[in-house]
């Protein structure tokens, strides 16, 4: 009799917890639905409240976490540099970082934080965030390679800012003159070294990374400029030879990728060709003269 009583109690307790859990799940689902509806109507603050209610009911719910981050992000207005607006951006960054803490491979949250740091012109924090992600072994190799290439783009821009201000024209030839400020010259060398290291890691993770090989070529070109400044002709010539090798590899990869697209999807290939015919003639121009544009668009690289 006593045993029957204990069994009955155990069953009733289990039923109670199952019912409570079901009610909680339904409440979370309802709150998320309310958040989605408010978001569609551009009522982002209201959507945030619903998403936060869902998260308070289930603190481990990944959907609720990302909903909270998205609804906060939607309230940030790019280009408006007020304390309130910047605070909203930092609030979104904190929310996205919570998502990444629970799911290190969440690409949406990584890219959102990267873009927000760019919008806030927080270059150092943006670099740290990207470096952390690039070194996260839980992330797929190709995605890590892409982030290393992004880091290389920052280093290339750092170097290009300096060398563009030192070039001089002698007749029909452009020569590169060492900056008068030694600290600036050391900064140039460090940027190039960091950039080449980042491209090497990108290519090691993904040997067919077009972005990795693109920045490899352009950072080697910056390195050649440094050797010219130091009057080290042999070293400069060697760097330019390496530039040619990297550009040759890049060209082969582009052609290979185009051929693969052609074989798998003729329609996609036609679109790819049209895009490349527009983009490719501008690629070299971009890396040689588009500094002023890129300075404001580094997050889009």
What residues have CB less than 8 Å from 148, skipping those under 6 apart? 134, 198, 199, 201, 202, 205, 212
- Do both 92 and 41 map to the same domain? yes
Q: pTM for the full model?
A: 0.75
What value does the CA radius of gyration of the chain take, rounded to a whole number of Å? 26
Task: Say if residues 99 and 69 touch (Cβ distance below 8 Å).
Answer: yes
CA distance 101 to 118: 21
Task: Say if residues 174 and 234 touch (Cβ distance below 8 Å).
Answer: no
Q: Is residue 125 situated within a structural domain? A: yes
- Do both 190 and 269 map to the same domain? yes
CB atoms within 10 A of CB 172: 5
Helix axes 141-163, 210-229, angle to 10 degrees: 30
Query: In tens digits, what is the pLDDT along the chain, a chain of 301 residues?
Result: 555 545 455 544 554 444 545 777 889 999 999 999 999 999 999 999 999 999 999 999 999 999 999 999 999 999 999 999 999 999 999 999 999 999 998 999 999 999 999 999 999 999 999 999 999 999 999 999 999 999 999 999 999 999 999 989 888 888 999 999 999 999 999 999 999 999 999 999 999 999 999 999 999 999 999 999 999 999 999 999 999 999 999 999 999 888 777 766 655 545 544 444 444 444 444 444 343 334 443 333 3
Q: % helix / strand / coil in the chain, to the nearest 5?
A: 80, 5, 15
CA distance 295 to 75: 25
- Do both 74 and 51 map to the same domain? yes
Domain boundary among 65, 100, 134: 134
Q: Cα separations (Å) of 165 from 161, 168, 177, 218, 277?
A: 7, 9, 9, 17, 31
CA distance 9 to 268: 64
- Do both 183 and 96 map to the same domain? no
Q: Cα separations (Å) of 163 from 158, 170, 211, 215, 225?
A: 9, 16, 22, 16, 8
Task: Say if residues 62 and 103 touch (Cβ distance below 8 Å).
Answer: yes
**Which sign, positive or negative, has the C-alpha torsion 225, 227, 228, 230?**
positive
- Do both 156 and 182 map to the same domain? yes
CATH number at residue 106: 1.25.40.10
Range of the domain at 219: 141-300
């Amino acid at each position: 009799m006593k045993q029957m009583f204990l069994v009955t109690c155990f069953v009733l307790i289990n039923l109670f917890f199952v019912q409570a859990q079901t009610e909680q799940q339904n409440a979370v689902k309802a709150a998320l639905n309310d958040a989605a509806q408010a978001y569609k109507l551009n009522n982002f603050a209201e959507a945030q409240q619903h998403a936060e209610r869902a998260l308070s009911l289930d603190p481990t719910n990944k959907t609720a976490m990302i909903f909270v981050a998205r609804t906060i992000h939607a309230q940030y207005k790019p280009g408006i540099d007020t304390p309130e607006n910047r605070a909203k951006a930092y609030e979104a960054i904190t929310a996205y970082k919570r998502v990444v803490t629970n799911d290190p491979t969440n690409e949406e949250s990584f890219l959102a934080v990267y873009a927000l740091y760019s919008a806030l012109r927080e270059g150092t924090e943006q670099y740290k965030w990207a470096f952390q992600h690039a070194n996260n072994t839980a992330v797929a190799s190709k995605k890590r390679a892409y982030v290393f290439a992004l880091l290389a783009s920052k280093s290339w821009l750092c170097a290009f800012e300096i060398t563009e201000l030192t070039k001089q024209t002698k007749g029909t030839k452009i020569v590169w003159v060492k900056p008068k400020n030694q600290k600036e010259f050391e900064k140039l060398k460090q940027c190039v070294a960091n950039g080449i290291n980042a491209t090497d890691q990108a290519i090691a993770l993904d040997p067919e990374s077009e972005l990795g090989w693109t920045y490899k070529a352009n950072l080697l070109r910056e390195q050649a400029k440094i050797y010219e400044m130091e009057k080290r002709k042999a070293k400069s010539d060697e760097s330019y030879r390496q530039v040619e090798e990297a550009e040759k590899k890049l060209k082969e990869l582009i052609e290979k990728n185009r051929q693969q697209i052609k074989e798998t999807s003729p329609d996609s290939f036609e679109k790819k060709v049209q895009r490349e015919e527009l983009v490719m003639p501008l690629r070299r121009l971009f890396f040689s003269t588009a500094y002023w544009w890129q300075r404001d668009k580094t997050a889009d690289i």
